[in-house]
Amino acid sequence: MIEPVASGDLLWAALAGAAVILFGGGYALLFALARLRRRRALFLACGLCYIGLAIATLVLANVLNLSGAWASIVVVMLIGYLVAPHGIWWLCIGTHTHDSGLLKGDGHG
């Protein structure tokens, strides 16, 4: 059974939730920039944001007393957020290079 969040943990829950949003957005943005610009520093920053996202998510799950199936869902979501940008990038490259040649550098667009 899930226990309620202690009143002293509400601040930690709010801070961890905000960190999840900030690190998640940073990861998505830096992933796209790293792929576009092909800069090693951006890939490193992207990885650090994902680590921050994972830590904040695990802290949030701990503070909210998530266990059992709920903890499994948290882990699956973290894996999904790690993999999804790679799939989205592959899809964008596949559709744009095939249809319009925009990413081939042929001068269109």
Closest CA to 62 of 105, 3, 103: 3
Which is more confidently placed, 107 or 88? Answer: 88
Which is more confidently placed, 101 or 38? Answer: 38
CA distance 13 to 41: 31
Residue 2: band (very low, low, confident or very high) from pLDDT cuts 50, 70, 90: low
Residue 23: band (very low, low, confident or very high) from pLDDT cuts 50, 70, 90: very high
pTM (two decimals):
0.77
Is 80 exceeded by the pLDDT of residue 6? no
Q: What is the pLDDT of residue 104?
A: 54
Q: How do residues 30-83 score in pLDDT, each as one tens digit?
A: 999 999 999 999 999 999 999 999 999 999 999 988 888 999 999 999 999 999
Closest CA to 15 of 73, 49, 48, 64: 64
